[in-house]
Structure formats: C-alpha cells, structure tokens
C-alpha cells in the first residue's frame, strides 16, 4: 500500500499510536494523518473519498475498524449529529457542534471548558467520560440570508462542509 508519508511524520504518528497503546499499522497511520491534517469534521465516506483521491484504497470495514480503535483510545472523537451522520475528527481540542436545520451544515463550537467531561449529569454512580452538546437551530449564514429579503438559504448547499479542508 505504501503510505505516502514523510518519515518524520510517520514517526510522530507512530509515537501517538504507541502512546495510546495501539499497534502501528499502515491504515492507522494513513487515517490518523488524514484526520489530523484536516481541522474539521468529516463523515466516514468523506474520509474514504479523500483517500481515494490520493490513490489510496482502503476497505470501508477497515476504515470503520481503525476509527473505532482510534476513538476508544481517545485520539479522535465522533459526533452523531443526525441519523446516518457520524462525524469523525481529531480530538485535540474538545468541542461541540451546531447543526443548522435550514442548510444542514455542521459548525464546530469550542468547548467553554476545553477538557472532556465539561458537564456533569445528574446521575449518581455513573462514570462520565465525555459530554457532547449538539445545538440545533439556524446558523448565522442562514439567518443573514433570511434577513436579506427571503433569499433562499439553500443556495449554500455546503452540507457539512463549512469548516472544509481538502479531505
């Protein structure tokens, strides 16, 4: 498969994997690299397409496997922002999401606390690992578009790509 990663990058990623007690494998390096390079959130299919564009073909099952292991070791996070919309992203900075019900875009919102369990549930005896907040409403762009005299907000059609990188 020959992951096209510079040696030092490869070393850095491998170190991350090892420190998370994960074996260093090529698919893991590739996917971790892709998720770290892109700041924002991506669907799994986005990741697949991205890799394909770079000439790397990984089975979907592998991508899901890798993501699962990365998630369970805390290197990346997933957010469910709607049915069939599992978003994957680097967990370097904990954050939350705003989902626009008009254009469907998902916007990252920084976590006020910054650390992982930023809220405590009223649930005695539970071990809380993380708290994710999903806001729903109308995003600033759609609000503005509406204010500008009924412009159709759906012009944007950037569904879930507003933080877009190249992935």
Positions in the binding site for its own copies (CB under 8 A): 80-86, 96, 98, 101, 107, 109-110, 112, 117, 119, 121-140, 143-144
- Cα(62)–Cα(41) distance, rounded to whole angstroms? 19
- Cα(69)–Cα(20) distance, rounded to whole angstroms? 10
Q: Choosing among DNA, its own copies, none, which partner's interface includes residue 139 (Cβ < 5 to 8 Å by kind)?
A: its own copies
Q: Choosing among its own copies, DNA, none, which partner's interface includes residue 35 (Cβ < 5 to 8 Å by kind)?
A: none
- Does position 43 interact with DNA (CB under 7 A)? The reply is yes
Query: Minimum distance from CB of 15 to DNA (Å)?
Result: 10
Residue 126 has φ and ψ, to the nearest 5°, of -90, 150
Residue 90 has φ and ψ, to the nearest 5°, of -55, 140
**Alpha-carbon distances of 41 from 14, 15, 19, 128, rounded to whole Å:** 22, 23, 23, 23
Query: Minimum distance from CB of 166 to its own copies (Å)?
Result: 24
Whether 53 and 27 have beta carbons less than 8 Å apart is answered as no
**Alpha-carbon distances of 2 from 17, 26, 76, rounded to whole Å:** 18, 8, 23
- Does position 62 interact with DNA (CB under 7 A)? The reply is yes
Mask: binding to DNA, 117-146, rule CB under 7 A, as x and -? ------------------------------
Instruction: Give the range of 22-30, 34-42, 115-123, 132-140 binding DNA by CB under 7 A.
Output: 22-30
Q: Using CB under 7 A, list all residues that contact DNA.
A: 1, 18, 22-28, 43-45, 57-62, 64-66, 68-69, 83-86
């Amino acid at each position: 498969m020959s992951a096209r990663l510079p040696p030092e990058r490869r070393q850095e990623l491998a170190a991350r994997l090892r420190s998370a007690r994960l074996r260093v494998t090529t698919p893991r390096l590739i996917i971790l690299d892709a998720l770290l390079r892109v700041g924002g959130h991506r669907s799994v299919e986005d990741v697949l397409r991205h890799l394909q564009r770079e000439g790397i073909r990984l089975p979907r099952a592998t991508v899901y496997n890798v993501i699962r292991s990365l998630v369970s070791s805390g290197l990346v996070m997933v957010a469910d922002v709607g049915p069939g919309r599992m978003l994957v992203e680097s967990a370097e900075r904990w954050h939350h999401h705003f989902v626009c019900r008009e254009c469907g875009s998902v916007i990252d919102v920084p976590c006020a606390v910054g650390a992982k369990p930023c809220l405590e549930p009223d649930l005695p005896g539970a071990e809380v690992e993380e708290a994710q907040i999903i806001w729903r409403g109308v995003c600033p762009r759609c609000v503005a578009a509406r204010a500008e005299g009924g412009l159709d907000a759906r012009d944007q059609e950037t569904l879930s790509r507003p933080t877009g990188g190249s992935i």
